Chain A
Amino acid sequence: MSTEGSYYVPEQSKLPLAAALGMGVMAFGAGSWVIEGGTSTVFLIGAVIMAMVMYKWWSIVIEENTQGIVSDQLKHSYVLGMYWFIFSELMFFVCFFGSLFYVRVLVGPWIGGEAAIGLFDDTATDAAIANATHLWNGYDATWPPLVTPDQAVNGDVAKFIGPQESMSFPGWSQILGWLPLWNTIVLISSSGTVHIAHHALKEGNRKKFNRWLGFTVLLGIIFLFLQAEEYIHAYQELGLTLESGIYGTTFFLLTGFHGAHVTLGTIMLLIAFLRGLKGHFNEADHFGFEAAAWYWHFVDVIWIGLFIIVYVLG
């Protein structure tokens, strides 16, 4: 609630219009890029505009803060902005987790001709029976689905060929060679290291802050490296691709969007790290870092959900 005399309302700025232009060019460029025969030129021009605008915009915000014209009330606006941004990101993942739930718990059994949830209704619907007898005869609904409905009917000429193997828990005997477990260890540790860095900063121990934040960025990069390794393994050895039916679809979209968010989070932390080296932030005022840390905890929480639902219960 407003308690002071004046709230800083910035002067006119060319940046918002430039940012909108960058987004517009990127959107148009992306649209023309994915169409057959399209090129990435326009998209990249938009991305360059966007990158320049973002650099300039945040420079100005940092500048305003060092000049001391940013009141506590304005800082609270930034805090609220970050909270709700993270909430919107959460809802984006809710969309994909919900879709996974729907196809896995309901659609699979329906295509296979069974009743989906026995709780309300344990007889198969007419539609499900018709599916199984007329459309997808021979499809056996299991999760993870290694045979797609298409494959069950059309064999090797099917458009969607299931993977030879899934990414699920391979059993206790092979647990040490299971990459997702290592990824989980790396990412959870990085949430711990960023927490240590945060406390170090609050205590004014800058050396410790720099060290642990740098360590966190490194863990983020290791995670991304392992994730890339996993994808290469999936494509080259397991036949698990975007085209391998609903399992590949949900697996790559969920882990892929998580990976994209880890990339963004790593960049945010890297910027905070570089700013820390330049002597930015102090014990009381370090929201640029704090926001990145919250975002990092958020991607960590999403990973725990992914690890349990996509990998362990996969």
Chain B
Amino acid sequence: MAHGPSESFFSRWLFSTNHKDIGTLYLWFSFAMFLLGGAFAMVIRAELFQPGMQLIEPEFFNQMTTMHGLVMVFGAIMPAFVGLANWMIPMMIGAPDMALPRMNNLSFWILPFAFAILVATLFMEGGGPNFGWTFYAPLSTTYAPDTVNYFIFGVHIMGASSIMGSINIIATVINMRAPGMTYMKMPLFVWTWVITAFLLVAVMPVLAGAVTMMLMDINFGTSFFDAAGGGDPVLFQHVFWFFGHPEVYIIILPAFGVVSQIIPTFSRKPLFGYSSMVYATASIAFLSFIVWAHHMFTVGMPIAGELYFMYATMLIAVPTGVKVFNWVTTMYKGALTFETPMLFSIAFVILFTFGGFTGMMLSIAAADTQYHDTYFVVAHFHYVMVAGAVFSGTAAVYYWLPKWCGRMYDETMGKVQFWIAFIAFNITFMPQHFLGLAGMPRRYADYGLQFADWNMVSSVGAFMYGGAQLLFLFNVIRTIGWGKPIDDPKVWEGAEGLEWTLPTPAPFHTFSTPPVLK
């Protein structure tokens, strides 16, 4: 256990078995992918700034919408939370490291290869994936470019990475807790992550199955998604969303965990309703397996199916509501201060709840006939993905960065970034609700003149939001290099938990000897 970080830069970062270094790799990789996916979004918004085609070809526009979704979901958000899990779970449960440190590094290093393959397809003959991030058959089979095969195998190894990473997290949480760290004493971030890991192990193989069926249909003459042979293109959607709905909770549950750590700290009160939070998280995870077809209300389902999936979906509002009320009640009568992580967390609660309400609108099968595949859906899931997952990820970095590197970030710059991001986010996505309700379809490179004004507003907001991310990057680099040194183990006055008993900056090895909890 005596070994410290390797002297050589390359061997330290390439051959690591240290949960903190691997967490750092995950976080930087995810931020690089966030900028790449963001660049794709900027191309999309630049083209949609005005009606008509000005900058790019429609074929390339399709590749941009597809790659934006894939890179953001699989390359930016998921690895960001895995990076946070790597850093924080061993510190929070009193473990020396992750349970399987070498496999941990393998899980990470698969990702750069997977995304290199995926991005390389953009430069190949036929172009990259152009069928939307949901890659519905037959667009992704019969009508796909040849490069879809690279996409398929890229998804396979990415899935292997996720499964190994999740198994590692589950093994760590079950096996590595310090004496006295019972399940119901675990910080909520650990709870949400272990449930997320369970979801990943359960549904990533289903995604692998879906892309395997595509591969067989494209190259080996099977007819999973071809009615001529007795299959059904809608089968693809069922399989995809059986993966895809738990997938969106895989993205949001760790975000819930982060916010549940931050709000008590800056309210200087323990989290309200801890056990109800745990049960609500588990209920959401369970429900995520039985609601998938609410993404498919317009494909032609028997009325019994429509009704079942509609009511089951509405049930999710109950545990989610429990969470929102708990966060609000935690703040109630607390001694609140509004540092940057807290600002992002409060914005999370407000905007995520807003996104939840539009989700309730979409869950009404009859009304969804109007909203389906319009910008209303785009607005809805960006409220939960960006104001949900990305805001909480940003909050997490501001919250834990001083602990990680022993230096304080610039609070003013953080607050400026927050307000630009908050305002720009709403300028970007609020108008997309109106566009969608007025009937503008998603994933189109051009639109009718009646949609011109709100599209222009949305594009302006998107560029502002992109700029705020550069400020974030600058603030993080400045903190790591030149931030004001701090050595208070607690960093934040109201912070509670094992991770804050470690020295600041956190030592290379976490708990070589497990701490004892009362």
Which A residues fall within an 8 A CB radius of B?
A: 1-3, 5-7, 9-17, 19-21, 23-24, 26-28, 30-32, 34-36, 57, 73-74, 76-78, 80-81, 84-85, 87-89, 91-92, 94-96, 98-99, 102-103, 107-108, 110-111, 116-117, 120-121, 125, 127, 131, 135-136, 145, 148-150, 158-160, 241-249, 252-253
- Which residues of B are found within 8 Å of A99, using beta-carbon distances? 209, 213, 224, 235, 239
- Which residues of B are found within 8 Å of A135, using beta-carbon distances? 227
Interface of chain A: mostly helix, strand, loop or mixed: helix
Interface residues of B in 196-215 (CB under 8 A from A): 201-206, 208-210, 212-213, 215
28 A–B contacts from the bound complex (CB under 8 Å):
A1-B177, A2-B179, A7-B96, A9-B101, A9-B509, A13-B105, A17-B109, A19-B106, A24-B110, A27-B150, A27-B154, A27-B156, A30-B149, A77-B172, A85-B167, A87-B201, A87-B202, A88-B167, A94-B206, A95-B208, A98-B242, A107-B232, A121-B302, A148-B228, A242-B216, A242-B221, A244-B229, A253-B222
Distance from A37 Cβ to chain B, minimum over Cβ atoms (Å): 10
Q: Is the CB of A24 within 8 A of B205?
A: no
Interface residues of B in 351-365 (CB under 8 A from A): none
Interface residues of B in 116-136 (CB under 8 A from A): 116-117
- Say whether, besides A17-B105, A88-B204, A150 and B179 are in contact (CB < 8 Å): no
Is B63 located at the chain interface by the 8 A CB criterion? no
Is B304 located at the chain interface by the 8 A CB criterion? yes
- Say whether, besides A17-B109, A87-B202, A81 and B228 are in contact (CB < 8 Å): no
Which B residues fall within an 8 A CB radius of A?
A: 1, 3, 6, 11-12, 14-18, 94-97, 99-106, 108-110, 112-114, 116-117, 146-147, 149-154, 156-157, 160, 163, 166-168, 170-172, 174-179, 181, 201-206, 208-210, 212-213, 215-216, 218-224, 226-232, 234-235, 238-239, 242, 300, 302-304, 509, 512-514
* A125 vs B15: C-alpha distance when bound (angstroms): 59
* A3 vs B203: C-alpha distance when bound (angstroms): 33
Q: Is the CB of B302 within 8 A of A125?
A: yes
Cβ contact of A80, chosen from B102, B175, B232, B303, cutoff 8 A: B175
Q: Is the CB of A23 within 8 A of B202?
A: no
Distance from A38 Cβ to chain B, minimum over Cβ atoms (Å): 9
Cβ contact of B106, chosen from A11, A16, A88, A242, cutoff 8 A: A16
Interface of chain B: mostly helix, strand, loop or mixed: helix
Q: Is the CB of A28 within 8 A of B95?
A: no
Cβ contact of A34, chosen from B15, B17, B149, B208, cutoff 8 A: B149
* A85 vs B165: C-alpha distance when bound (angstroms): 11
- Which residues of B are found within 8 Å of A131, using beta-carbon distances? 227
Q: Is the CB of B6 within 8 A of A89?
A: no
* A32 vs B124: C-alpha distance when bound (angstroms): 11
Distance from A113 Cβ to chain B, minimum over Cβ atoms (Å): 13
Distance from A115 Cβ to chain B, minimum over Cβ atoms (Å): 8
Cβ contact of B15, chosen from A6, A17, A253, cutoff 8 A: A17
* A65 vs B13: C-alpha distance when bound (angstroms): 27
* A31 vs B149: C-alpha distance when bound (angstroms): 5
- Which residues of B are found within 8 Å of A35, using beta-carbon distances? 146, 149
Q: Is the CB of A24 within 8 A of B117?
A: yes
Q: Is the CB of A91 within 8 A of B229?
A: no
Q: Is the CB of B15 within 8 A of A13?
A: yes
Q: Is the CB of B235 within 8 A of A73?
A: no
Q: Is the CB of B153 within 8 A of A243?
A: no
* A110 vs B203: C-alpha distance when bound (angstroms): 28
Q: Is the CB of B300 within 8 A of A125?
A: yes
* A3 vs B513: C-alpha distance when bound (angstroms): 10
The 6 closest A-B CB pairs, nearest first, are A24-B113, A95-B209, A246-B230, A20-B109, A120-B304, A31-B150
* A36 vs B219: C-alpha distance when bound (angstroms): 9
- Say whether, besides A7-B176, A245-B223, A28 and B11 are in contact (CB < 8 Å): no
- Which residues of B are found within 8 Å of A102, using beta-carbon distances? 232, 235, 238
Cβ contact of B153, chosen from A27, A74, A87, A242, cutoff 8 A: A27
* A121 vs B308: C-alpha distance when bound (angstroms): 13
Q: Is the CB of B16 within 8 A of A12?
A: yes
- Which residues of B are found within 8 Å of A57, using beta-carbon distances? 102
Write the chain A residue with the least CB distance to B308: A120
Cβ contact of A23, chosen from B105, B110, B171, cutoff 8 A: B110
Q: Is the CB of B102 within 8 A of A10?
A: yes
* A76 vs B176: C-alpha distance when bound (angstroms): 10
* A245 vs B163: C-alpha distance when bound (angstroms): 32
Of A3, A13, A31, A243, most buried by chain B (CB within 10 Å of CB) is: A31
**17 more A-B contacts (CB under 8 A) besides A13-B102, A102-B238, A245-B231?**
A3-B179, A7-B97, A13-B105, A17-B105, A17-B106, A28-B117, A73-B175, A77-B175, A88-B204, A103-B235, A108-B230, A111-B227, A150-B228, A158-B228, A245-B229, A246-B230, A247-B230
